[in-house]
């Protein structure tokens, strides 16, 4: 039986996001999956090795640049550090992504804006500034819309950002809200043309009768200006809300996934896409699972993977058939009856799936654990890491306040040897796959002095609490690290906490 607790689900249906049909976001409808005994991980990995480089606040809807146009961006960030009362719901960061070189870091927020930070260049006088990032460009990517046919409001919130590899002086990135994907070009301009024949210096058209000589326009230096222009708009292809976008390794196509379908797009074609996965049943009452995340293989352009709310992962090969409803490989963990509970279905829902940089492994994040799967072994994960197992006793209250439906992301480091994911109380966790050691760190405003060394945090489950420990009952569930990013080649990480963006780096980096 796919649904073994129908009566319980009916009793609590008003809390379950799946019952927001027909137009709402499909939530995690989970089937029971077991959780194996975790790997024994010693605490203290990397103790004292991570330092805070800088804390940036995403510029708020109040345009502080208009107050004083020549103000330095670093002063803006410092003003945010002193006064964070400007923050609103629209300023909450909803996605974080490094570009392929790590020189740029993009964030999207609930207000539909994309803010790009650029890495500070190292100089002889300021050696320690190499890891700092400052505001490079800010632009409004999406606006709120209203679907009159369905009487549905479409939020401007940026769900995902994905960079394209840089081919020339300009940068390109994809950003998406619930319905529309946009391709943006970000370019620099430090020269402007002057000496037009038909226009004067102020841009007004000249009287042709007054033109007696032919002038050759020339380029004059000007202050550096960063421009963001939309090059493509991919719309009207998703009935449900987009949760993932992924750029293919051929750099000609990308895919977008919503709760029931995955579409394949060509970057040059905006008016049509190809549906490669469709799990929508003929009768929506028979719906038992939804798609939660999808990603292309980093090297093989024909292979992609998607996860479901039932805790399963499907690997598909586009060479096998045009419609990839039949998977090539199916990854599922056998159920452990001893861990069965009312919440088993919900906490087994996968919120994020990521290929390793090598393409050999898949990492998945559910509510309580991070799992690493080998592509050659489908029956169980090769590694399981407990993120916050101390919350098992709190699942009932987490269900009541809807925190149990939070979607945490996970990331690899550049060498696939360390994985990172977020937790509550602004904690984030790192797991070393080689030494099997882990560490809990905190992104805290109170400890936001530049170059400050992060101290590992420990959570006390019960009994006598030590001085440096925090009780599980004292955790703040309104503070959560959902979105993180790791520099592609260095030990530099970005952690988003509400409208704060924390940049940390390895002390020896």
For 448-479, the pLDDT digits (tens) are: 677 778 889 999 887 677 777 898 989 999 99
> How far apart are the C-alpha atoms of 348 and 351, rounded to whole Å?
9
More confident residue, 242 or 447: 242
**Sign of the four-CA dihedral 386, 389, 392, 398:** negative
Kind of pairing, strands 437-442 and 42-43? parallel
> How far apart are the C-alpha atoms of 338 and 472, rounded to whole Å?
24
> How far apart are the C-alpha atoms of 440 and 458, rounded to whole Å?
7
Tokens found for residue 10: 């009916």
Using the predicted structure, report yes or no on whether residue 47 has a pLDDT greater than 70. no
Tokens found for residue 163: 């960079």
Q: Give the tens place of pLDDT for each residue, 314-352.
A: 999 999 988 998 999 999 998 888 778 889 999 999 999
Residues 224, 188 contacting (CB under 8 angstroms): yes
Kind of pairing, strands 469-471 and 458-460? parallel
> How far apart are the C-alpha atoms of 146 and 149, rounded to whole Å?
9
More confident residue, 63 or 448: 448
Name the 3-class secondary structure at 81: helix
> How far apart are the C-alpha atoms of 77 and 84, rounded to whole Å?
10
- Least confident range of 65-74, 236-245, 415-424: 65-74
Residues 328, 320 contacting (CB under 8 angstroms): yes
Tokens found for residue 172: 């390109």
pLDDT at 86: 56
- Average pLDDT score over residue span 198-219: 81
**Which is nearest to 375 in space by CA: 384, 385, 363, 365?**
363
Residues 500, 482 contacting (CB under 8 angstroms): no
């Amino acid at each position: 039986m796919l649904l073994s607790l129908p009566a319980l689900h009916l009793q609590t249906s008003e809390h379950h996001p799946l019952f927001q049909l027909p137009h709402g976001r499909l939530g995690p409808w989970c089937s029971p999956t077991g959780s194996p005994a975790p790997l024994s991980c010693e605490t203290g990995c990397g103790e004292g090795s991570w330092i805070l480089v800088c804390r940036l606040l995403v510029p708020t809807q109040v345009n502080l640049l208009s107050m004083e146009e020549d103000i330095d961006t670093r002063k803006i960030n410092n003003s945010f550090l002193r006064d964070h009362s400007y923050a609103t719901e629209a300023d909450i960061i909803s996605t974080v992504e490094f570009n392929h070189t790590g020189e740029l870091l993009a964030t999207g927020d609930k207000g539909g804006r994309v803010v790009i930070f650029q890495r500070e260049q190292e100089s002889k006088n300021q050696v320690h500034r190499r890891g700092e990032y400052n505001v490079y460009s800010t632009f409004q990517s999406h606006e709120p819309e209203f679907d009159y046919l369905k009487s549905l409001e479409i939020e401007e919130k940026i769900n995902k950002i994905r960079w394209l590899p840089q081919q020339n002086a300009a940068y390109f990135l994809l950003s998406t809200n619930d319905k529309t994907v946009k391709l943006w070009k970000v370019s620099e301009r430090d020269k402007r043309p002057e000496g037009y024949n038909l226009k004067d210096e102020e841009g007004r058209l000249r009287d042709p009768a007054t033109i007696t000589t032919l002038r050759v326009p020339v380029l004059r230096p000007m202050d550096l200006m960063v421009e963001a222009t939309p090059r493509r708009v991919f719309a009207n292809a998703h009935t449900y809300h987009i949760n993932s976008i992924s750029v293919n390794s051929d750099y000609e196509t990308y895919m977008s996934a919503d709760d029931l379908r995955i579409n394949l797009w060509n970057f040059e074609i905006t008016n049509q896409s190809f549906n490669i996965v469709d799990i929508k049943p003929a009768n929506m009452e028979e719906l038992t699972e939804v798609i939660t995340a999808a990603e292309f293989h980093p090297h093989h352009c024909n292979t992609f993977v998607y996860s479901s709310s039932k805790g399963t992962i499907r690997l598909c090969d586009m060479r096998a058939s045009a419609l990839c409803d039949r998977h090539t490989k199916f990854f599922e963990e056998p159920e452990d009856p001893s861990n069965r509970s009312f919440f088993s279905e919900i906490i087994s829902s996968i919120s994020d799936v990521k290929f390793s940089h090598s393409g050999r492994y898949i990492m998945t994040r559910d509510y309580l654990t991070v799992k690493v799967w080998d592509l050659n072994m489908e029956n169980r994960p090769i590694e399981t890491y407990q993120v916050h197992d101390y919350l098992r006793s709190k699942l009932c209250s987490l269900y009541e306040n809807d925190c149990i439906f939070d979607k945490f992301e996970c990331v690899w480091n550049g060498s696939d040897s360390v994985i990172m994911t977020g937790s509550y109380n602004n904690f984030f966790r790192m797991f070393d796959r080689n030494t099997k050691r882990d560490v809990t760190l905190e992104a805290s405003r109170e400890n936001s002095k530049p170059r400050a060394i992060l101290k590992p945090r420990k959570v006390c489950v019960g009994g006598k609490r030590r001085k440096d420990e925090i009780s599980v009952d004292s955790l703040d569930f309104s503070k959560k690290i959902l979105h993180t990013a790791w520099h592609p080649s260095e030990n530099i990480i970005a952690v988003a906490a509400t409208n704060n963006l924390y940049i940390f780096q390895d002390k020896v980096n």
